Amino acid sequence: MQYQVLSVGIASLPLSNYSWDGMNDVKKQECEPKENSCSKPFIYTRHEHQISSHLIDPDALKILYRLQRFGFKAYLVGGSVRDLLLNKRPKDFDIATNATPRQVKELFRNSRIIGRRFKLVHVVFRGQKTIEVSTFRDASSLNNSDQNNSEDIRPIMTDNTYGNEETDAVRRDITINALFLDPKDMSIIDYVGGINDIRDGVVRVIGNPDIRFAEDPVRLIRVIRHAARAGFIVEKKTWASIVKNTELIRRSSTVRVYEEVKKDLLSGYSLGILRLLAKSNLLPLLFPALGKHANLLLSENSPLSNMLGRIDDSKRKGIEYNNATILSNISFFLRKPDSISFNILERFQDEEVIHEHVLKCFHGLAVPRKERERIDGILTLWFLLAAGSKRFHMRKNKEERDSLYDLLFIFDSHDLSLFESRIREEAIARNKYRNERRRKRLIRNG
């Protein structure tokens, strides 16, 4: 395979600020606009970017080196390469190879094959750390790019036809996630203009966006997530296609859509993602109750925006919140959305209103029953606390209590001190009860 090597001086650029001014005089990669794929891949050598092997997970390197030692091609791919170029710590280090899943499994005893739609290998290390290894996919399963009507495109139900590096790159969703890093010489291989788009701060779908969204409508959500997380803009044609094809999301499994929304809420960038979803008109289809009031609730300095901003800041600092806490936060403000009150007694009259409200809130969003019950329990527990009800002490669910504490902490609510006081009272009463039982037992035993 013939490569074209560019000298672009990436290493000297302040990537953490996404400033690529030093590349303005560099000739753009000449890719076919229709397919976003270059006639020849561009190679960026180790001296032209700042990624070094010590930034890569050691276990990922073990897998890469072992695959290459046995004669296979193996690259670090996707979001990990993108994040390293942006001076971010990748959450996952994914690997692509020309070895089949069975061949990978034979090389790694600590692995298992998963997936039906597309088979992958999970290599498991100490502490249950998992590194995903996929075989290069073929692009022949892509729908014909000459088709103009997305209604004629069927979603891809299976994707187990294998290919090479180029077809695998073209098969990926967006250009900035289609870069390959070769551990042998630490070069970056770019088939689709991903380096240019990182430089320009652009999220662009590979190929015809109408067709790619029709193949898998969940890509509509993923494009917006990547734009919000990186602080990038969505490329003009891609954005127009998102706005045009929002109704395609109805074709996707409601459970799968909920899992994508859950990722957004837990990403540390939930506020930016929700605002982009609202701007694209996707939010009313994903989360109807929030979409209906998005202009008010997600506006600058609104109570919900401020609370989501606090959660995002905490998440990015490594503080974890569960999804029920975040959804309870949203659900709280969806009750009387024009109110700025943080007093739960002003939003809910009784427990029955809370039950009905939670059911209404998540109509159209496939929140699992257990999750809805937990949200209901968190808000009910808060209501009982604020109302001074003795039944607060009867609700002993630890997950609900922990989530309520997190929620009150986020809100910086005066109810937080009340919550802590009630918990101390419980502990004192519990110790008093135990001491009394111990005293009676000692008397009985002489």
Q: Cα-flanking dihedrals φ and ψ of residue 292, to 5°?
A: -65, -30
25, 57, 152, 173: the catalytic one is: 173
Q: In angstroms, how far is the first alpha carbon of the chain from the final one?
A: 91
DSSP assignment of 376-417, as one string?
HHHHHHHHHHHHT-GGGGG---HHHHHHHHHHHHHHT-THHH
Q: For helices 270-279 and 303-316, give the axis angle rounded to 10 degrees.
A: 130
In the annotation, is 264 catalytic?
no
In the annotation, is 92 catalytic?
yes
In the annotation, is 173 catalytic?
yes
* DSSP 8-state code for residue 357: H
Give the CA-trace dihedral at 28, 30, 34, 36, to 10 degrees: -70
Q: Residue 397 is encoded by which pair of tokens?
A: 């669910």
Distance set, CA 45 to CA 18, 30, 85, 263 (Å): 20, 19, 13, 34
Indicate the residue type of 247. E
Q: Are strands 130-135 and 179-182 parallel, antiparallel or unpaired?
A: unpaired
21, 25, 83, 94: the catalytic one is: 94
Which residues fall within 8 angstroms of residue 115, CB to CB, at 6 or more apart? none
Distance set, CA 36 to CA 370, 380, 395 (Å): 43, 52, 57
92, 138, 159, 402: the catalytic one is: 92
* DSSP 8-state code for residue 98: S
Residues labelled as active-site residues: 92, 94, 173
